[in-house]
Amino acid sequence: MTGTQHAVLVLRLAAPLQSWGGPSRYNRRETQPRPTKSGVLGLLAAAEGRDREAPITDLVGLQLGVRIDQPGTLLRDYHTYSDHRGLPLLSAKTNAKGQQTRTTPAKYTGVTQRFYLQDAVFVATLRGRKTLLESLDEAIRHPVYPISLGRRSCPPTGPVSLGLRPDTELEDALKQVPWQAGTHRRNQVTDTSVSLEATVEDPAGDQLAVDVPDTYDLKTGTHFSRRTVRHLWVTLPTDPTQPPHSTPDTGTPGQSGHDPFALLGW
């Protein structure tokens, strides 16, 4: 069912590096091959300037669709770390007083691994109440906090919001947005059309995604619940005359004209 009280917000998620966290923890942080609902909602909350303790029930109620326009490649960032005082590293164990103990036998160097998607481009569609999406669209164009794609070290490139569209099913919305891949990827495709993998939130779907957050409060930690999704393929024309970032006549111009890092002098 569609109606005038609802709408679809289209986002273009592109950057040299993106990282959409999964169930991994501690010294090995992996990334999912596509944006997660937790990551996208976190971007929206940051743009609005919400505190981490603020409720996100209204955001969780949005339906999410994601299209992979340019899958990118996996990058592993390998680090070693040690105590600058030359002391053994702390272990995960604690004593009776709740204090971390030193590693036994003494361990002076640790390893961390972080995984990223490099040169990836995604289209995300969010379906929900029109008034809420209008507010989110404005926030993305004028964010309170710098927005990032999964991690703070991953700022987006180009316009993020491609504007609001009339209410429609997520699958149909993903079919209406022109191909957003970069020039290099476009030059690799010689056919007149391209098939893109997509995922839409669907109560009748046959897959489960465990990425719906209950809060972003660091004190309590985030617990994730499940949502039902459906995978599909979207075929789009590879029209060289249709540049990325384009928006429909009913939307707001794709060039947002703002720089979220301008105040930092970047």
In the chain, the number of structural domains is 1
Which band of pLDDT confidence, cut at 50, 70 and 90, is reported for residue 257? low
For the record, the structure tokens of 52 come out as 């981490």
87-127 pLDDT per residue, tens:
888 887 788 888 888 888 888 898 889 999 999 999 999 99
Does position 59 have pLDDT exceeding 70, yes or no?
yes
Nearest to 201 by CA among 61, 70, 71, 68: 61
229: in domain = yes
Tell me the pLDDT tens digit for each residue of 180-234.
Answer: 999 889 999 999 999 999 999 999 999 999 999 999 998 888 899 999 999 999 9
80 located within any domain = no
The residue among 43, 28, 6 whose CA lies nearest residue 151 is 43
Calculate the average pLDDT of the chain: 88
> 72, 118 in Cβ contact below 8 A?
yes
The pLDDT of residue 159 is: 92
Residue 91 lies in a domain: no
Is residue 112 a part of any domain in this protein? no
Confidence of residue 253 (pLDDT cuts 50, 70, 90): very low
260 confidence band (pLDDT: 50, 70, 90): low
Residue 248 falls within a domain, yes or no?
Answer: no
What whole-number percentage of the chain has pLDDT above 70?
87
Task: Name the one residue in this structure whose structure tokens are 């109620």.
Answer: 61
Q: Which domain holds residue 143?
A: 6-71+120-237
Residue 187 covered by a domain = yes
User: Given a cut of 50, is residue 14 above it in pLDDT?
Assistant: yes
C-alpha–C-alpha distance, residues 68 and 11, integer Å:
12
Query: What average pLDDT score do residues 138-165 get?
Result: 95
3-state secondary structure of 141: helix
Residue 154 within any structural domain of the chain: yes
For residue 28, name the pLDDT band (cuts at 50, 70, 90): confident
- Look at residue 21 and tell me if it is in a domain: yes
What is the Cα–Cα distance from 43 to 60, expressed in whole angstroms?
13
Greatest alpha-carbon pair distance for the chain in Å reads: 68
Better pLDDT: 230 or 265: 230
Q: Which pLDDT does position 103 carry in this prediction?
A: 85
Q: CATH no. for residue 164?
A: 3.30.70.2660
Per-residue confidence (pLDDT) for residue 81, from 0 to 100: 86
